[in-house]
Amino acid sequence: MNTLSLKKIPNKYAIAYRNNYTLQNLIAVRTCSAIFLILNLIIRSLYLIFPESLTKAQNFPEFDYTNWLYIIVTPLFFICSYLLIAYYKRNRKPLAAISVFIFLFSLYLIACGIISSFIATSDPSNALTLYMLPLVIISVVFVFELYETILLIIAIAVVFTSMLIYAQASPTEIVYNELISIILLCGFYFTSRYFYSYKANYYKQVIEIREKNNEIENAASFKDQVLGMVAHDLRNPLAAVESTAMIMEMDELDDETRDNINIIKESCVKARGIILDLLEAARNDDQNTIETTQVDLNLFIRKIIDSWKIHNETRSIITFNSSYIPLYVEINKEKFHRVMDNLISNALKFSKDNDKIEIQLDKVNKMAIIEVKDHGLGIPKDMLPHLFERFSKAGRTGIHGEQSTGLGLSIVKQIVERHKGKIEVDSVENQGSTFTIKLPVFN
C-alpha cells in the first residue's frame, strides 16, 4: 500500500475521492453523535434511577453539568448532519461549510474526552483512556486531508493546554502532561494518515477496476466488430478462391500447376478452420445457455465417423465400439459435432498413416462416457496442464505439417462444460492420447 503520510491522493482522483469521503464523513457524524447522545442519556437515566446516596453525584457536580451540556449540544450535530446528508445527496457539492462542520464535530468529540479526563482527575495522565478513545475513533472513522489533520492537532493541543492552565497544574505536571499529549497526537496523526492512505488506495483501486471494466467492455465490442468482419468479409472471398481453384482443377493441368492448386485448396481449408474457431470461441463467450435436443449418441457418433471416412483423405482407421445401444443424452447437435470433429482431427493430426483411431462409448453411474483414443505422438507432461487454455502454448504442428491455432481444445472444453459435462485427457509420449468426455445421461 502506498502510504500518504505527507502527501495527498493524486490529482487525477482527488476531487472524486473528496466527493466520496465527504458523504462518508457526514454519515459518520450522524452515527457518532447518535451513539454519544444515547450514552449521555443512559448516564442521565442512572442519575435519576439511583439515589444520590449511592451515586454520590453531589460530590461530582462537573459530571452533572457536562452531561447536560452534551445532551443539549449533541442533538444539534445529529440534526445538522441529517440535513447536510440530504442536501449532499441532492446536489453532490462538497461545500466548505460541510468540511467546517465535520471539523467542529471532531474537535467537539475530542474536547469532550479531554474535559472528561480533567474532571475524572486533576492530572489527566491518570485518565488517558478518556482522552485517547475519541482520538482513536476520529482517526479511524473520519477522513481528513493533510492540512485538516494538522489544523485539528493544533486545535486539540490548544484545548488541552487551556485545560491544564484552567486546572492550575504545577509546571512539572504541565510539562509531563504536554509530553503525553504530544505522544498521543503523534499517534493520532499517523493513525489518521494511515487510514487516509488505506481508504484512498482502496478508492483508487475501485476506480481503476471500473476503468479496466470499461476498457474490457470496449474491447469486447471491438472484438464483436472484428469477428463480424471475419464472418462476413473474409469467408466470402475465401469461398471465391476455393471455387476458382476447383474450376481450374477441371482443366487439363501439368503436375506443378495441380500441386499449386492443391496447396491453394489446403490453405483455404486451414483458413476456414481458423475462422470457425474464432467465431466459435466468441459465441461461447457470449452465450450462457444452449439449446439442446435428445440424441442417441450411437447414431450421432456413427454419422460423424462416416462423414470423416467419406470427405477426408486419410489412411488412418477410425473404429467405433459401444456398450450401450441406444444411449440418449441432451446435446446441441451442431456444437457437439464440433467437439467430435476437433477430437478426431487432433487424433489424426498426431497419428501416422494406418494408425488406428478408436472411439468407445460407455455408461457409468448415469454418465455417458465417450473416449477418443489414438496411438500417435502423445502429449509431453509439461504441456498437459495448458492443453485446454485459449491460444494454448501446448499447440503443436501435426505429423504432416498441420498448423494449430491453440483454440480447438479450449472450444471443446467450453462446449462440454456448457452441456454440464467434463473432459479429461490421459497421454503417454510416443504411445498416444485418450480424451474422455463425461455427459449426463437423459432420464
| Mean pLDDT of the region 169-191 | 87
Residue located via cell numbers 483423405 = 313
Residue located via cell numbers 481444445 = 409
**Neighbour count for residue 379 (Cβ, 10 Å):** 20
Give the end-to-end CA distance of the chain in Å, rounded to a whole number: 55
Closest residue by Cα to residue 296 from 256, 330, 252: 330
**How do residues 9-55 score in pLDDT, each as one tens digit?**
667 667 777 887 888 899 999 999 999 999 989 888 887 777 666 65
pLDDT reported for residue 10: 66
**How do residues 372-401 score in pLDDT, each as one tens digit?**
999 888 888 888 888 887 665 655 665 665
The pTM for the full model equals 0.54
pLDDT reported for residue 361: 93
pLDDT reported for residue 282: 62
Residues 6+ apart with CB under 8 A from 310: none
Angle at 261 between CA 255 and CA 263, to 5 degrees: 105
| Contact of 46 with 63, CB cutoff 8 Å | no
